[in-house]
Structure 1
């Protein structure tokens, strides 16, 4: 019988799996060990995605990107058990997202079988308002829509959510904030001119 989600022993096992994965980025077999751990605790899709995102981020921060260990074939593999396939897919897709490899990520998802794409789109959203990469993308979309104040709010939250010392991603977020400020200032500068022209014509 599946143990309840809130049992202390399961929570401890989940914590151990997360710690083990993030503590051994130099071990090339850590993704498979993580898959074993997640299988052992019967992690659901959302839990797997969250743990894998943490592990991929830790590996990236240590200069040992998951992209050096896995390949697109690991996402499409059909010769593994479902939990291992899901774990490797979560790790690889998270690594692509953290590196801002959006075209590659899009192509990879488009190559999935149609049922897998419908299933992926129906999963619960992982963005809880605390993922800096998601907030970064939201801010860019809002800028292109001309919703500058909302975009600034999103990018400010993204900067607040960044782990300490992440210089490379911080620079990308600061650049997006500068673009938002410039676009907003240009829009505000043009608006009175159009109003004045309309009033005098």
Structure 2
């Protein structure tokens, strides 16, 4: 691919940047697209031009995707600050913040780095702008969620100066995760309240599914998972993590053949190189086959249809 003169020349017309961003979009998601983002970010004038382009509706999603790489690549100790800068500059909605920061936190976790460089004191500090306060809460909340520390997440959100009902809906879904993950039935009501107004936001649904998956003995737990998985964002059945949750729910209902089909589909759609999630999927498959074998051994009937 040619060099990026439009990002080197500050006098380049706006449509030149559009062409550069378009070249990024044309790359297939994966290493090639990430490399293209890094090429763009390496230009001395790129940041200023991207900061302007993020407010162009046709370019916004792609620019935020490039910005995500910029945040992921931040050196140790600078990730949270860089995320705050981009979220502030782009004037992101809560939905954009949730999508952006969830993907950042997940990729950083897969790299074996600390998911966040924040403490509760950073999140509860006074004098923060609304966007910075939300960014810090999302980042630390995601770190605690991915580390499976629901009690710490509940404590963090309860320590905020604002009531939970005034938080953005993704933060409310993180609180529901925290309660559900501790098998607290109060989390079910929080979940229903969020579902009623979140317009099937994908990151919200994943947070709620995660909480239901982590909890134990909640009323109608498995069916509630399947109900969420029937919502429009999951109907294509190409989301490996959603299929993993589906398999777990079906296993809890003793619908082993369906569970096995779901986990095998999850293995097919899991992006290559995702070793930690692959281990979880293989473990779930072992649980399904073991459960089916046990039911066959004791003469139980494995249910295969809803």
The TM-score with structure 1 as length reference comes to 0.73
Query: Is the alpha carbon distance of 1:160 and 1:109 closer, same or farther for their aligned partners in structure 2, counting shifts above 3 Å?
Result: farther
User: Which residue does 1:66 correspond to in 2?
Assistant: 115
Is 2:294 the counterpart of 1:186? yes
Task: Note the alpha carbon deviations across 1:95-120, whole angstroms, 9 max, x for none.
Answer: 33333444544554566634147942
Q: Choose the corresponding residue for 2:259, options 130, 151, 154.
A: 151
Distance 1:117 1:145 in 2: 35
* Structure with bigger RCO (C-alpha 8 Å, 6+ apart): 1
Q: Structure 2, unaligned stretches of length 5 or more?
A: 1-52, 173-193, 207-232, 302-306
User: Which residue does 1:18 correspond to in 2?
Assistant: 68
Shift in Å, 1:86: 1.7
SS of the aligned residue for 1:63 comes to: coil
Query: Is the alpha carbon distance of 1:70 and 1:118 closer, same or farther for their aligned partners in structure 2, counting shifts above 3 Å?
Result: closer
Instruction: State how 1:40-59 maps to structure 2 within 5 Å.
Output: 40-59=89-108
Distance 2:240 2:121 in 1: 28
Distance 2:122 2:295 in 1: 46
SS of the aligned residue for 2:300 comes to: helix
User: Aligned pairs, how many?
Assistant: 188
Shift in Å, 1:131: 5.3
Q: Structure 1, unaligned stretches of length 5 or more?
A: 193-201
Shift in Å, 1:77: 4.4
Is 2:207 the counterpart of 1:99? no
Preserved contact between residue 131 and residue 161 of structure 1 (Cα < 8 Å): yes
User: Which residue does 2:277 correspond to in 1?
Assistant: 169
Query: Is the alpha carbon distance of 1:44 and 1:135 closer, same or farther for their aligned partners in structure 2, counting shifts above 3 Å?
Result: farther
Q: Choose the corresponding residue for 1:125, options 189, 201, 208.
A: 201
User: Which residue does 2:77 correspond to in 1?
Assistant: 28
User: Which residue does 2:218 correspond to in 1?
Assistant: none
Query: Is the alpha carbon distance of 1:171 and 1:11 closer, same or farther for their aligned partners in structure 2, counting shifts above 3 Å?
Result: closer
